[in-house]
Amino acid sequence: MKAVSFLKSLPITDADSLLDVEIERPSPGPRDLLVEIRAISVNPVDAKIRGGGGPRTPQDTNKILGWDAAGVVVSAGKEVAHFVAGDEVFYAGAVNRNGSYAEFQAVDERIVGRKPRTIGFAEAAALPLTSITAWELMFDRIKIPLGKFANAGSLLIIGGAGGVGSIAIQLARRLTGLTVIATASRPETQAWCRQFGAHHVIDHRQPLAKQVKAILPGGVNFVLGLTKTEDHFDEIIESFAPGGALGLIENVARPVDINKLKPKNISFHWEFMFGRSLFQTADMDQQGWLLNEVSGMVDAGLIRSTLRENLGPINAANLKRAHALIESGASVGKLVLEGFIS
């Protein structure tokens, strides 16, 4: 089968950073689906893993990246209970298995959802990783209450125009009564946040606390630190109301002093969406359930895909373009590739 591999960590401008290869089609395990990939999207984790290390063992001659996919089930392992050949699915995969830069992928059924019926494969591929990350961060980690309650509080999303931010805005608006403030620094990214439902958009290139308190004098209750939290840490603390919760998804680039959270009783939470599959947790199937919930919301017209640009077929050249855009820090929404050229 066709695939795109990397053998060692190189700058994305290097001709060998990503390579078109032919490899053997994977065989599904007992709980696996074998999926024919129709579309994928590219996430920061793809570029980070490519930049941080090559194949893990001498036998791992082709490392296949990619943690977002939509496709069609070709076959299922003997213990699979919820899918059959022909089902259209979407998922984010597992970080310790080969990914979706390939014509076929084996993936555990417990982390797979049914693709929304009302959108195409490209639009669906933009959703899984960011939806899982945003949902788990908001509702499992920092415990935002589900429901349209009066006086529900407020949410500040640092980096509202990125993939996770784009879906977090929508989930917060549809599933909670929170006042949603997103940050974005350019006119196009500010407009992007507003179109997905942010009540207010502020500029993270300017001090945050003054802007937040002009909207909410008492401060915000919840903060999603989706990008460069270390640059905004003191301003985030100043922006909080007492008793708030801060959630992060990426490693901080330099140490922050978490003792500063103590005076306001601010709790601190990490979200790593691959944790459930990596450790085979008892609730691993919650990711499949979650994706089915997202699929239903899409089909009901409650939320929509965050696809921004379709870069064309899945091959090394187009994936290099996608990685370069991700690494630029200027991408908006999600980048998608669709189909293989025979």
The CATH number linked to 85 is 3.90.180.10
> Which token pair is 165?
């931010």
Q: What is the CA radius of gyration of the chain?
A: 20
> Which token pair is 332?
């908006």
Domain boundary pick from 225, 240, 270: 270
Cβ within 8 Å of residue 241, ≥6 positions away: 216, 218, 219, 220, 221, 264
Say whether both 166 and 253 belong to one domain: yes
Say whether both 262 and 142 belong to one domain: yes
Say whether both 121 and 207 belong to one domain: no
Say whether both 89 and 149 belong to one domain: no
What is the arithmetic mean of pLDDT over 93-121?
Answer: 97
Say whether both 73 and 139 belong to one domain: no
Tell me the per-residue pLDDT of 201-235, one tens digit each, with 9 for 90 and over.
999 999 999 999 999 999 999 999 999 999 999 99
Tell me the per-residue pLDDT of 5-42, one tens digit each, with 9 for 90 and over.
988 888 999 999 999 999 999 999 999 999 999 999 99
Q: Do residues 62 and 23 make contact, with C-beta atoms less than 8 angstroms apart? A: yes
Helix/strand/coil for 304: coil
pLDDT at 324 over 90: yes
Task: Return the number of other C-beta atoms located less than 10 Å from residue 240's C-beta.
Answer: 23
Query: Tokens 């998608």 correspond to what residue?
Result: 336
Number of structural domains the chain divides into: 2
Eight-class DSSP state of 225: E
What is the arithmetic mean of pLDDT over 307-322?
Answer: 96
pLDDT in the model for residue 69: 98
Q: What are phi and psi of 18, to 5 degrees?
A: -135, 140
pLDDT in the model for residue 60: 57
What is the DSSP annotation of 152-184? --EEEEETTTSHHHHHHHHHHHHHB--EEEEE-
Q: Give the relative orientation of helices 316-328 and 44-52 as an angle to the nearest 10 degrees.
A: 100
pLDDT class for 331, splitting at 50, 70, 90? confident
Tell me the per-residue pLDDT of 79-90, one tens digit each, with 9 for 90 and over.
999 999 999 999
User: What is the spatial distance between Cα 36 and Cα 132, in angstroms, rounded to a whole number?
Assistant: 22
> Which token pair is 143?
């415990």
pLDDT in the model for residue 7: 84
What is the arithmetic mean of pLDDT over 305-320?
Answer: 96
* 232: containing domain: 133-270
Cβ within 8 Å of residue 185, ≥6 positions away: 203, 204, 205
Q: Tally the C-alpha atoms within 13 A of residue 288's C-alpha that lie toward its C-beta.
A: 18
Say whether both 233 and 171 belong to one domain: yes
Q: Is 107 exposed, middle or buried (0-12, 13-18, 19+ CB in 10 A)?
A: buried
pLDDT at 299 over 70: yes
Give the dihedral of Cα atoms 110, 224, 189, 318; nearest 10 deg.
-40
Query: What is the helix (H) or strand (E) element at residue 328, kind and residue range?
Result: helix 316-328
Give the CATH number of the domain where residue 138 resides: 3.40.50.720
Say whether both 200 and 254 belong to one domain: yes
Cβ within 8 Å of residue 122, ≥6 positions away: 39, 70, 307, 310, 336, 338
Give whole-number Cα distances, 256 to 91, 175, 219, 240, in Å.
Answer: 33, 32, 21, 17
Domain boundary pick from 229, 248, 270: 270
Domain boundary pick from 270, 285, 320: 270
Q: Do residues 223 and 240 make contact, with C-beta atoms less than 8 angstroms apart? A: yes
pLDDT in the model for residue 342: 55
Say whether both 38 and 140 belong to one domain: no
Say whether both 235 and 306 belong to one domain: no
Say whether both 119 and 137 belong to one domain: no
What is the DSSP annotation of 98-150? --SSBSEEEEEGGGEEEPPTTS-HHHHHTSHHHHHHHHIIIIIIS-PPPB--T
Q: Do residues 270 and 248 make contact, with C-beta atoms less than 8 angstroms apart? A: yes
Say whether both 11 and 109 belong to one domain: yes
Say whether both 261 and 140 belong to one domain: yes
pLDDT in the model for residue 53: 56
pLDDT in the model for residue 6: 87
Among 309, 272, 228, which Cα is nearest to 42's?
309
Q: Give the relative orientation of helices 229-239 and 208-215 as an angle to the nearest 10 degrees.
A: 40
Q: Give the relative orientation of helices 187-195 and 163-175 as an angle to the nearest 10 degrees.
A: 30
